[in-house]
Amino acid sequence: MERRYFGTDGIRGTVGTSPIDPEFMMKLGWAAGRVLAREGEGKRKVVIGKDTRVSGYLFESALQAGLVAAGVDIRLLGPMPTPAIAYLTRTLHAKAGIVISASHNPFEDNGIKFFSHMGTKLPDEIEHEIEAEIDKPMTTVSSSELGRAARVHDAGGRYIEFCKSTIPLATEFRGLKVVVDCANGATYHVGPPVFKELGAHVVAIGNQPDGININLECGSTHPRLLQEKVLHEKADFGVAFDGDGDRVIMVDDKGEVVDGDELLFIIAESRRLKGELQGGVVGTLMTNFGLEQALQRNKVPFERANVGDRYVLESLKNNDWKIGGESSGHIICLDRTTTGDGICAALQVVNAMVDSGRTLHELKMGMRKYPQTMINVRVSEKPNINGNETIANAVKKVEDKLEGNGRVLLRPSGTEPVVRVMVEGNNPAEVSMLAKELAAEVEKALKK
């Protein structure tokens, strides 16, 4: 069934533009409440959390009104990371969790994402039912059946304790100095305390949200500030989250960025050495070829999923594997939690540092990143590159030149009128040249 509102990761858009407006949000809350209230006896309970965008308060109130009108009780978490909302949905025994966030996007955007009672993505059939209810006239249950709202005052503390529980109890970060960049987002009040309570000396930045500075020149999408601060403070490493806390990248003591592929390698390798790696590792079509080769050397199976955390999660579940992620730093450790969690992933990496007695820089050297060049080829309409003989021949020509020491990827964008042409290989100059040649061939073929 075709979706009208829900995308691959909830509903997202610019604030004030349908459907990201208060009228729709109230109707969405009502529709979700109606669907959830059908299942089982009595009132259902839903938790609502948000990041630090100023529009979050607007949509929180609108959703709350709709849910209450449908007869659903609400637990308000306030500003909390997306993975914290997934966790608290489970532990508070709620029927569902609602996240108000546009993740790494600027403050002008916002969105809604649902979690099931298990802290996982809401089943597709439930999303379809909610969309069907949105089209119906809104009604209100009798006054005696109205839902009630209450605030969960210890939500942050509960989540901090959960994060600490994802590494061994005896592990301490004493003697380590860390810079934590919270992207002026949802981790601002929980990220630094996690590292502090584990014994690290913490320098916090990006922890002064004002409603509009979320992700602004800071956090995982803009690591320059963190790099400078790590070097200035002579810190052992730095950690940067995105606005809703489900992504993480790190910076080593030399000021070098350690991206999601390298973090994924460090976590998987640590698990392997301790005999705790269950199966293989899932990356995406964009995962660096160097990760694939490093895992193969250690006889660890590797599989590529489509870009997007939902596809990584599907692949993990299909294979019954536990570790997967994306270059952007969205890392899933299913042996620790149910969804991508920036704080949890960072703790696994630091635990590997403590276990091995090695620095972050030394650990990342176990994987050699391949030079990568990507070129966007603009098109006038949605391209169909499958079955195009000219493009297929051009790709094969590049692959022959790489001689198995690299790879080629052509991927139409899902949001822009472009085809992404990516080439990886040993030699940066050769990779750049091959990417330009292939992009020119793709552009020529599509214009025909």
- DSSP structure string for 415-444: SSSEEEEEEEES-HHHHHHHHHHHHHHHHH
Mean pLDDT (whole number) for 109-135: 93
Predicted pLDDT of residue 250 = 98
Do the two domains 11-153 and 159-364 of this chain adopt the same fold? yes
In sequence order, what E strands does 346-388 have? 372-378
pLDDT in tens, 224-248: 999 999 999 999 999 999 999 999 9
Domain boundaries in the chain?
11-153, 159-364, 372-447
Please state whether beta strands 418-425 and 372-378 pair in parallel, antiparallel, or not at all (unpaired).
antiparallel
Predicted pLDDT of residue 297 = 95
Amino acid at 333: C
H or E element that contains 284: strand 281-284
CA 109, distance to chain mean position in Å, is 16
> Exposed, middle or buried by CB within 10 Å (0-12, 13-18, 19+), for 18?
exposed
* 7 has a pLDDT exceeding 90: no
Longest dimension (CA), the chain: 73
Top CATH class, 11-153: alpha beta
Instruction: Report the CATH superfamily, name and number, of domain 159-364.
Output: Alpha-D-Glucose-1,6-Bisphosphate, subunit A, domain 3 (3.40.120.10)
pLDDT in tens, 186-223: 999 999 999 999 999 999 999 999 999 999 999 999 99
Amino acid at 400: D
Task: For the chain, report the end-to-end CA distance as a whole number of angstroms.
Answer: 34
- DSSP structure string for 170-238: T---TT-EEEEE-TTTTTTTTHHHHHHHTT-EEEEES----SS-TTSS-STT-THHHHHHHHHHT-SEE
In sequence order, what E strands does 58-213 have? 73-79, 96-100, 109-116, 149-151, 177-181, 201-205
Active-site residue, 103 included: yes
Catalytic residue, from 103, 220, 327, 328: name it. Answer: 103
DSSP 8-class letter at 371? P
Predicted pLDDT of residue 434 = 95
Predicted pLDDT of residue 415 = 62
Per this entry, what is the length of the chain?
448
CA 398, distance to chain mean position in Å, is 32
pLDDT in tens, 371-419: 999 999 988 776 677 778 889 999 999 999 998 889 999 988 766 778 8
Top CATH class, 372-447: alpha beta
- In which band, very low, low, confident or very high, does the pLDDT at 323 lie, cut at 50, 70 and 90? very high
DSSP 8-class letter at 381? S
